[in-house]
């Protein structure tokens, strides 16, 4: 067993010594069999949350209404979830009712795909009630039970099918795929943040462009906010030779791929609507702006400086993928010759300006910014006295 399980093994043993069942479940079992690195080890048990809390001294009620208790054991924490069934799903998203049960089978039945419905005993023995091992061997994503019913219960599962298909480089089984197509409008019921999580995992997987193509084929993409306004372009993207760039790459690349013909303003609005991080938005916008300036020959030294070495190279790579000339060497050369590469290299700082009599406050910031721009543009030398004289004249 991988190291990640070693500590947890003891926790499972302790639960069993108290007369309950306990198993590793979900992604960690799947990834162990596939010999992939593990991130989180989920534990499922027949013990009810109150019973888990009696067994272990240190516990935290992380999601007790769903049956999850975090157990602290030998300085590590483990999420332990009681076997449960779900019912209701009147809103195509969340079950109206969660019922704790003692049967492993019922817990595995509510899981999304056969490869995610495996359980493993503490000794490594795998329990496979839905053909998950065979599907793992044949690289197939298949819904547990009737796919259409399962997507009616929770429409996000359709996105998850495409996501796991890309992450694992697996094929989606025909009936599961057909059920995605016939139920795709249900995706509208799902909050964009949850779609976002699955979409980005899909893009960062091994086969993102096939994932994108599947989202087009099944019409899922028609029900994803904002992206549904760009179906034609996304169809083009899904055929681009982007695979190598997207491989091992960051979220920046994946967003560049989907935002090829967007304006910088559109990118900002979309990524904000999708609740992306400020850093990601800044990077994607800066790379896009840079590639657009390069194509129109409008890249100023100031933009060069602000874009920074990494984003400049990404912009150059992006243009190559789009069949445009390769600007990488030219950009590297131009960037090298910039007088400074960040504001700490400016030969004067705020403190020195204040000592020279400039008042602290917003104006000081503006002056520093002006000096930075002038130095980058080559209008003044990066030399303390010249900078000071210039600052005085701006007061
Ligand atoms: P990852 O490597 O991305 O964490 P994972 O398989 O662990 O993959 P999670 O989203 O962490 O995926 O979910 C853990 C497990 O819970 C899944 O393997 C699956 O058994 C079950 N599960 C999660 N989400 C759903 C869902 N929407 N419907 C049914 N079962 C689900
Ligand atoms: Mg997980």
- The ipTM estimated for the assembled molecules is 0.98
Q: Rounded to two decimals, what is the model's pTM?
A: 0.83
- For position 30, what pLDDT does the model report? 97
Q: Which of 145-159, 214-228, 240-254 is predicted with the least confidence, judged by mean pLDDT? A: 240-254
Region 20-35: mean pLDDT is 96
Structure confidence at residue 251 (pLDDT):
77
Ordered strands of the 22-25 beta sheet = 59-63, 68-73, 76-82, 42-45, 22-25, 119-120, 126-127
How remote is the CA of residue 42 from the centroid of ligand 2, in Å? Answer: 7
Rounded-to-10 torsion of CA 27, 33, 35, 40: 20
Mean pLDDT for 359-388 is 93
Q: What is the pLDDT of residue 243?
A: 62
Which carries the bigger pLDDT value, residue 158 or residue 97? 158
> Is residue 283 marked as binding?
no
Cα–Cα dist 39/138, whole Å: 23
pLDDT tens-digit series, residues 61-88: 999 889 999 999 998 999 999 999 988 7
Q: How many CA atoms lie within 13 A of 256 on its CB side?
A: 30
Is there a contact between 12 and 22 (Cβ–Cβ < 8 Å)? yes
- Per the prediction, the chain carries an average pLDDT of 92
Nearest to 153 by CA among 176, 183, 191, 118: 183
- Name every residue whose Cβ is closer than 8 Å to that of residue 328 and which is 6 or more positions away in sequence: 313, 316, 317, 320
Domains of the chain, first to last: 1-130 (3.30.460.10), 139-239 (1.10.110.30), 250-338 (no CATH), 344-394 (1.10.246)
pLDDT digits (tens, 9 = 90+) for 91-101: 777 777 889 99
pLDDT tens per residue across span 116-132 = 999 999 999 999 999 99
Is-contact 118 29, C-beta < 8 A?
Answer: yes
Start-to-end C-alpha separation, the chain: 69
Cβ-based neighbours of 232, under 8 Å, separated by 6 or more = none
Q: Tell me the best of 2, 4, 24, 26 to mutate to test the pocket of ligand 1, counting ligand atoms within 8 Å of each CB and taking the most.
A: 26
Instruction: State the pLDDT at residue 204.
Output: 84
pLDDT higher than threshold 60 for residue 248: no
Q: Is the pLDDT of residue 291 over 80?
A: yes
Give the residue, out of 88, 111, 128, 147, with the most ligand 1 atoms within 8 A of its beta carbon, to mutate for a pocket test: 111
* Confidence at 4, pLDDT banded by 50, 70, 90: confident
């Amino acid at each position: 067993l991988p190291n990640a399980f070693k500590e947890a093994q003891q926790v499972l043993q302790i639960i069993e010594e108290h007369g309950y069942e306990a198993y590793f479940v979900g992604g960690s079992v799947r990834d162990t069999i596939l010999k992939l690195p593990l991130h989180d080890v989920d534990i499922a048990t027949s013990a009810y949350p109150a019973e888990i809390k009696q067994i272990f001294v240190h516990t935290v009620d992380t999601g007790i209404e769903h049956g999850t208790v975090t157990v602290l054991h030998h300085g590590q924490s483990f999420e332990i979830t009681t076997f449960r069934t779900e019912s209701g799903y009147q809103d195509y998203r969340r079950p109206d009712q969660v019922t704790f049960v003692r049967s492993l089978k019922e817990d595995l039945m509510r899981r999304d795909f056969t490869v995610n419905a495996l359980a493993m005993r503490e000794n490594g023995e795998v329990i496979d009630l839905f053909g998950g091992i065979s599907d793992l061997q044949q690289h197939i994503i298949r819904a547990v039970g009737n796919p259409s019913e399962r997507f009616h219960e929770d429409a996000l599962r359709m996105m998850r099918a495409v996501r796991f298909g890309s992450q694992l480089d697996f094929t989606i089984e025909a009936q599961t795929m057909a059920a995605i197509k016939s139920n795709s409008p249900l995706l509208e019921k799902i909050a964009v943040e949850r779609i976002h999580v699955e979409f980005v995992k899909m893009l960062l997987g091994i086969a993102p462009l096939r994932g994108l193509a599947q989202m087009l084929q099944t019409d899922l993409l028609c029900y994803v906010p904002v992206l549904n306004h760009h179906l034609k372009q996304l169809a083009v993207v899904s055929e681009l030779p982007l695979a190598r760039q997207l491989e091992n790459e960051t979220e920046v690349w994946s967003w560049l791929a989907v935002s090829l013909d967007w304006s910088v303003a559109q990118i900002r609005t979309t990524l904000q609507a999708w609740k992306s991080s400020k850093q990601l938005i800044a990077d994607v916008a800066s790379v896009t702006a840079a590639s657009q300036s390069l194509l129109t020959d409008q890249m100023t030294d100031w933009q060069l400086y602000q874009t920074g070495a990494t984003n400049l190279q990404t912009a150059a790579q992006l243009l190559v993928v789009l069949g445009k000339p390769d600007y990488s060497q030219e950009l590297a050369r131009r960037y090298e010759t910039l007088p400074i590469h960040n504001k700490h290299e400016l030969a004067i700082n705020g403190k020195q300006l204040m000592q020279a009599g400039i008042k602290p406050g917003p104006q000081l910031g503006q002056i520093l910014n002006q000096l930075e721009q002038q130095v980058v543009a080559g209008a003044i030398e990066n030399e303390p006295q010249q900078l000071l004289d210039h600052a005085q004249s701006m007061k």
